[in-house]
Amino acid sequence: MSEHPPLPPKNRELIWRGLFSENPVFRLALSLCPAVAVTSSMKNGFLMGVAVLAVQVLSSMTVAIARNFIHDKVRIPVYTIVIAVWVSVIDMVCAAVAPEIYAQIGLYIKLIVAFAIIISRLEVFASKFAFLPSTIDGFGMGLGFCFAMVLIGAFREVIGNGSIWGIELIPIKPLLLFILPAGGFFTIGLLMAAMNWIDVKRGGKLPTLGGGHG
């Protein structure tokens, strides 16, 4: 670690990065598996997004506080434990406090332990910066993930099922393929292209380095 830690970016910049310029799904292409698996409807995508947001913020906060005590060589296992603890806490609290919601998203909450986006934020950001910027970075990234999940879910639900948030828009299912797993990949590809197009229009540069991760 360098003697002088880099200055953290401004708060607004952090949120904007998570939402758009470094959006976890559309830009970093992280956690695509859950993004495909859970977004067959807008509601599912939203609930998953909120759960990820909570875990991301709490984990970033924990790691930012404890970053000076975590031994460098075992930091990844420690991050995993931190995430697992928060996921389990949310799982148990949700089961006790809101059983109706838990019945719908209980299955997905446990999956969050393996989300690449969370551990990558801990490694890239929270382990290097102080409490407040880390919290805001976690919030921005979680928000960006949630936004992506809602967008993908809405797109797939409208095209695949003719409804939005469970409310029927058109009495037919235009293209059933889109709520099936294959349609998830199409959707992410299309939306990613749309994001790039918007970015280029706004005078940005296309990302040259790509890569995906579970």
Partner 1 sequence: MTTSPINVREMAKITICLTVVCILAGLILGAVFAVTEPTRLMRAQVGEQQLVRRILELPANAEIMEIRRFLSEGPDPQIAYTLQSEVRIYDVEGKLVSATPISERATAEQILETRLPHARRGGRFFVAKIKDGSIAGYVTESEQYGFKSFIRFFVALTPDFQVRGVEVVAHEEDPGLGAEITRPLFKNQFSGRSQASLEQLKVVKGPLPKAMEDLYLSRENTMFHDWLQTNAHVLKDARQGPIYGVTGATISSQALADGVKKAVHHLGTRLTIIGLTGGSHE
Tell the smallest beta-carbon distance from residue 174 to partner 1 (Å): 18
C-alpha 137/C-alpha 120 separation (Å) is 12
| 182 touches partner 1 by CB under 8 A | no
Alpha carbon distance, N-terminus to C-terminus of the chain: 28
Q: How far is the CB of 81 from partner 1 (least distance, A)?
A: 5
| Least distance in angstroms from the C-beta of 36 to partner 1 | 14
Does 88 contact partner 1 by CB under 8 A?
yes
Q: How far is CA 155 from CA 45, 101, 185, 186, in A?
A: 11, 23, 12, 11
- Does 89 participate in binding partner 1 (rule CB under 8 A)? yes
User: Per the structure block, which two tokens stand in for 212?
Assistant: 């995906």
Helix (H) or strand (E) holding 167: strand 167-168
Residues binding partner 1: number (CB under 8 A) = 19
Span of 82-90, 138-146, 148-156, 193-201 interacting with partner 1 by CB under 8 A: 82-90
Residue 163 burial by Cβ neighbours in a 10 Å radius (0-12, 13-18, 19+): middle
| Residues 130 and 9 sit within 8 Å (Cβ to Cβ) | no
> Does 78 help bind partner 1 (rule: CB under 8 A)?
yes
By CB under 8 A, is residue 81 in contact with partner 1?
Answer: yes
Q: Does 1 bind partner 1 (CB under 8 A)?
A: no
CB 213 within 8 Å of CB 31: yes
Nearest approach, Cβ of residue 35 and partner 1 (Å): 17
Is 191 a residue that touches partner 1 (CB under 8 A)? no
Q: State the residues that interact with partner 1 by CB under 8 A.
A: 69-71, 73-74, 77-78, 81-82, 84-85, 88-89, 92-93, 95-97, 99
